[in-house]
Amino acid sequence: MTLATRTNGFARSMIRRAALAVAAIATLSAASVQLGAQEARLLAIQDDATRSMVRDFIEAARARGTPTEPLVSRALEGVAFRATAKRIEQAMVALEERIGRSRELLAPRATVDELAAAADALANGVPASAIRDLRKIAPYRQITVEIGVLTELVAKGVAPKKAAVMVRDLMARGATGTQLTELNAAVQQDVAFGVTPVAALELRGRGVMSLLSPSASVNAAIRP
């Protein structure tokens, strides 16, 4: 028997209390939980100087109003890649700058996930104007998936402008995130078989386009 099924009542009561304590933590304010969780995660950074640098940077970023979750993530990514403290700091500086830029591009409002996705898009060479266009087309819903598809297309070698135009046009005609994800998958597969990225995008993009309403106007969709 792997589980202690013979646990007596007292032990069960203790377990229950411990579990309730965990559950109670979950009900605390989101901010304090996030702070505690972030601090705990920073303990994964074994080098004291690096951890101290990261902690200081995060606190300063929080004071500047930057969402800190993506920054913590980037710092830990750097640790996983065994980057130096200097490299990690540079990455956080660059990310905070891109998050600030993303916030402008995704105005008037954006979730942290969207900001992180847009920041990664910029880092991978997606044109800033493309991100702004996507937000205009879908001002009231999350576009994390759409930004992610665009990022992946560019990261895999599709010319940024062509990728941006295709994703924008498909979205404007009502393509769902699912359809765009499938488009991306098909393009990646074609590229793996030797088709050039641009040709694959044109081919697959036309296929998705044929399934969508022809009446929607791209210009109308992205008009401010």
Which residues are at the interface with another protein (CB under 8 A)? 1-7, 9, 12-13, 15-16, 18-20, 22-23, 26, 41, 44, 69, 72-74, 76-83, 87, 90-91, 94-95, 109, 111, 113, 116-117, 120, 123-124, 140-142, 144-145, 147-149, 151-152, 155-156, 176-178, 181-182, 184-186, 188-189, 191-192
Q: How far is the CB of 189 from another protein (least distance, A)?
A: 4
Task: Read off the tokens for 180.
Answer: 């765009």
| Residue written as token pair 């229950």 | 16
Is 16 or 219 the residue whose CB approaches another protein more closely? Answer: 16
Is 150 or 219 the residue whose CB approaches another protein more closely? Answer: 150
Rg of the chain over CA atoms, in angstroms? 22
Q: How far is the CB of 131 from another protein (least distance, A)?
A: 14
Is 117 or 164 the residue whose CB approaches another protein more closely? Answer: 117
The one-letter amino acid at 199: A
**Gap between the terminal Cα atoms of the chain:** 65
How far, rounded to the nearest angstrom, does the alpha carbon of residue 19 sit from its chain's CA centroid?
A: 31
Task: Read off the tokens for 191.
Answer: 């590229």
d(C-alpha 130, C-alpha 158), whole Å: 14
**DSSP track, 187-200:** HHHHHHTT--HHHH
Q: How far is the CB of 30 from another protein (least distance, A)?
A: 11
Q: How far is the CB of 222 from another protein (least distance, A)?
A: 18
